Structures are given as C-alpha cells and as structure tokens.
Amino acid sequence: MDERSFSESRKPLWEELSNTLDQVRARGVRSLSRAQLESLGAGYRAVVSDLAFARTQGASEELVLYLNNLAGRAHGVLYASGTARARGAVSFLLRDFPALFRATWRYTLAAALIFAIGWAVAVDLIYTVPEVRGALIPERLATSKPEKGDGHASGQNAAPKHSQGPEVPFLEAPDPARISSFIMTNNIREGIIAFAGGVTFGAVTVFTLFKNGLVIGAVLTVAFAGLNPTTLLSLLLPHGFIELVAIFICGGGGLMMGSALIAPGNLRRADSIRLASGKALRLFAGALPMFVVAAIIEGFITPSPIPPLAKLAFSGLTLLGLVAYLGFAGKLRAAPAT
C-alpha cells in the first residue's frame, strides 16, 4: 500500500467531513445546509470503507487511529439519540474513561512527577534558604487566622494558620456548600489550565504542574512543622487523593497534546494534534466528576467534627476506590475507544 498516495487522494473528503462535524459540534445540526446533510452520510460510509481498507493493507497506526476517530465522530452525529447519549455517558465513566486512563497512564505519571519535582524543590528551599518562605507561601495563607467556630478548627486539635490551605478565604463563612462550590470551581480552573496548556507545546502545562507542586510543597512543609501530623492529614487526605489524581490526569492530557505537537510522527502536525486532543479531551471530561466528588468531600466531610482517625480511615477508602476504579473498571469488557 502506498500510504502517502492513498492519504493525499482521500484527504479532501476526510477534511470536508471533519469540518462538517466541527460545525455540528459548534452550532448544531440545524446549521448544516441541505448539501452538507446529504453528504454527511456518504462521507461517513466512505470513511468507514477507507478505515477498513487501511487496516487490511497494513497502514500506519497513526492513520488507522485518525480514521477511526473520524468515523466515530460521524457515527455519533448520525446515530446517537438522547437516550443513547445518556447511556454512552454512563458507559464512558464506568468503562471507557478508566480504560483510556490505563492506556495513557505514562502521561499522568509524567504530570505527577513534574508536580513532585516542584514539591521537592520547595522542601529543599524551605530548609536551606528559610528567607524564601515568604515568597513561596501565598500571602492569604500566611496572614489569615482561623476564627472561632470554623469547621476545620473544630475538634480536639485546632489547626494553625498555615494548615488551612485553599479553604482559608472562607474562614469567616464556613458554610460547607459555599466551600464546596468555591473549591470545585477553583480546582476545575486549575485542571483546565493544565489541560489547555498542551497547545503551547506543553510549556504551560509543565509550568502549572511545577508551580502547584512548589506552592503546595512549601505550604505543607511549614504546616507540618507546627501541627500534629494526624490533624493535618485528616484535613487534607479525605479529598486530597481524588483531587490530586484529577489534576494529574488533566496535566497528562496537556502533556499528550504537547507531545503530539513536538513529535507528530508521520502525520501532519494538525492531524497529530487533532488525534491527541481527542484522547486528551476525554481524559479531561473523565476528570471533571472527580473534581466534583473531591469538592463535595472537602466541603462537607473535611470540616466536620468527625474524629481525625475516622477521617483518615475514610481517606483510605477513597484511595482504594480510586485504585479499583482506575485500575480495573471496564477491564474485562473492552479496550478504550479511540
């Protein structure tokens, strides 16, 4: 098979179908002209035929994945009803997303390592250059003081000022629902930055992960010096495992897009990033419910008067749940959709 000649001869049809699908996603099916509607079905059938041909003729993995992704997008527009989409969303969360996570775990691991490097640098700086402490710790964390009645300070051990983390701005209004809403919005924003930063060849993604590791590492290094570890961990871990993994998954998606831009392989850079961004977007979509769950836990369980040891036991359950979900959900049924 002469893959280059085949691709060049079929590329106008593929690009026309892709542009039509992009229009549907942006403005809906009603925005299509009569000619576009008539060509949509024919374009889908042609792409499916090209995909079968490419597979039987031993085409490159990049071309097969590109055609598979294009055919999948077209199929979703042509055949998915509202009920089918709802079932698809459930199937995605219970099967496809964890399977995709396992297939792309190296990117998530790379994101976690960048975060860990930032944390390690913060620890080193705090102990070797103490005067940089003020520069590393956000001013609102360094100057805020817990008020009486704050949910995080309730219980046998009240937390000192540095241990409150992102919750500090709400010390005077400790309504769990308000805290949950704020934290969910804040963390989704950080996930969006880490994910979308991939279009800068991964530079913004790397910077965001490193910066967050640096700041969080500095805050917790100082906090552990002035607070009972059990108390501090009981404030951080109930939501922390889910929250950090979600950020790492978003960062992994950003690194995947950056890698596609830097090393597109045999594909054009535009086709390479289109293919990678499809996977990265699904990773990001799967991480969003994790942010919601983490925010609910941080808003309602973390500030509650539950004993610290009980909170730590709950944290262990969330960790086991993460391992079971990301490591085994959908494993016996199918590989991730591509």
pLDDT tens, residue by residue, 280-322: 999 999 999 999 899 889 888 888 889 999 999 999 999 999 9
Examine the domain organization and report whether 242 and 152 are in the same domain: yes
4 contacts: CB under 8 Å, gap ≥ 6: none
Examine the domain organization and report whether 67 and 155 are in the same domain: no
Query: What are the C-alpha distances in Å from 260 to residues 52, 147, 280?
Result: 25, 49, 11
Examine the domain organization and report whether 163 and 287 are in the same domain: yes
pLDDT band at 149 (very low <50, low <70, confident <90, very high): very low
Is residue 33 one of the residues assigned to a domain?
yes
Examine the domain organization and report whether 321 and 227 are in the same domain: yes
User: What are the pLDDT digits (tens) for 7-42?
Assistant: 888 889 999 899 888 888 888 777 888 788 778 888
pLDDT value of position 175: 47
Average pLDDT over residues 195-223: 90
pLDDT band at 83 (very low <50, low <70, confident <90, very high): low
Is residue 295 one of the residues assigned to a domain?
yes
pLDDT value of position 52: 87
Is residue 277 one of the residues assigned to a domain?
yes
Given the structure tokens 């769990």, which residue do they identify?
176
Examine the domain organization and report whether 276 and 150 are in the same domain: yes
For the chain, percent of residues with pLDDT exceeding 70? 80
Average pLDDT over residues 237-253: 94
Is residue 267 one of the residues assigned to a domain?
yes
**What count of other Cβ atoms lies within 10 Å of the Cβ of residue 327?**
12
pLDDT value of position 334: 45
User: What are the pLDDT digits (tens) for 127-139?
Assistant: 888 777 777 776 6
Examine the domain organization and report whether 42 and 174 are in the same domain: no
pLDDT band at 233 (very low <50, low <70, confident <90, very high): confident
Residue 200 tokens read as: 């800068």
User: pLDDT at residue 271 above 70?
Assistant: yes
Examine the domain organization and report whether 149 and 217 are in the same domain: yes
Average pLDDT over residues 44-73: 87
Is residue 85 one of the residues assigned to a domain?
no
Is residue 94 one of the residues assigned to a domain?
no
Lowest mean pLDDT among 109-113, 239-243, 251-255: 239-243
For the chain, how many structural domains are there in total? 2
pLDDT band at 146 (very low <50, low <70, confident <90, very high): very low
User: What are the pLDDT digits (tens) for 88-125?
Assistant: 678 889 998 999 999 999 999 999 999 999 999 999 99
| H-state helical runs in the chain | 3-27, 34-56, 61-79, 82-91, 97-103, 105-128, 133-136, 139-143, 176-196, 203-226, 229-262, 269-300, 308-328
Residue ending a domain, among 79, 94, 115, is 79
Examine the domain organization and report whether 18 and 144 are in the same domain: no
Examine the domain organization and report whether 118 and 45 are in the same domain: no
Is residue 88 one of the residues assigned to a domain?
no
Is residue 91 one of the residues assigned to a domain?
no
DSSP-assigned letters across all residues of 101-148? HHHTHHHHHHHHHHHHHHHHHHHHHHHH-GGGHHHHS-HHHHH--PPT
110 contacts: CB under 8 Å, gap ≥ 6: 252, 255
Contact 43, 16 (CB under 8 A): yes
User: pLDDT at residue 47 above 80?
Assistant: yes
Examine the domain organization and report whether 190 and 321 are in the same domain: yes
Contact 39, 20 (CB under 8 A): yes
Average pLDDT over residues 75-85: 65
User: pLDDT at residue 161 above 90?
Assistant: no
Examine the domain organization and report whether 323 and 212 are in the same domain: yes
Domain with 48, as residue range(s), is 3-79
Residue 85 tokens read as: 């989409």
Contact 284, 160 (CB under 8 A): no
Examine the domain organization and report whether 227 and 321 are in the same domain: yes
Q: How far apart are CA 250 and CA 241, in angstroms?
A: 14
Lowest mean pLDDT among 89-103, 151-165, 210-224: 151-165
Among the listed residues 216, 104, 110, the one whose alpha carbon sits nearest the alpha carbon of residue 166: 216
Q: How far apart are CA 46 and CA 230, in angstroms?
A: 62
Residue 86 tokens read as: 């709802």
Q: How far apart are CA 220 and CA 114, in angstroms?
A: 17
Q: How far apart are CA 8 and CA 177, in angstroms?
A: 55
**What count of other Cβ atoms lies within 10 Å of the Cβ of residue 124?**
12
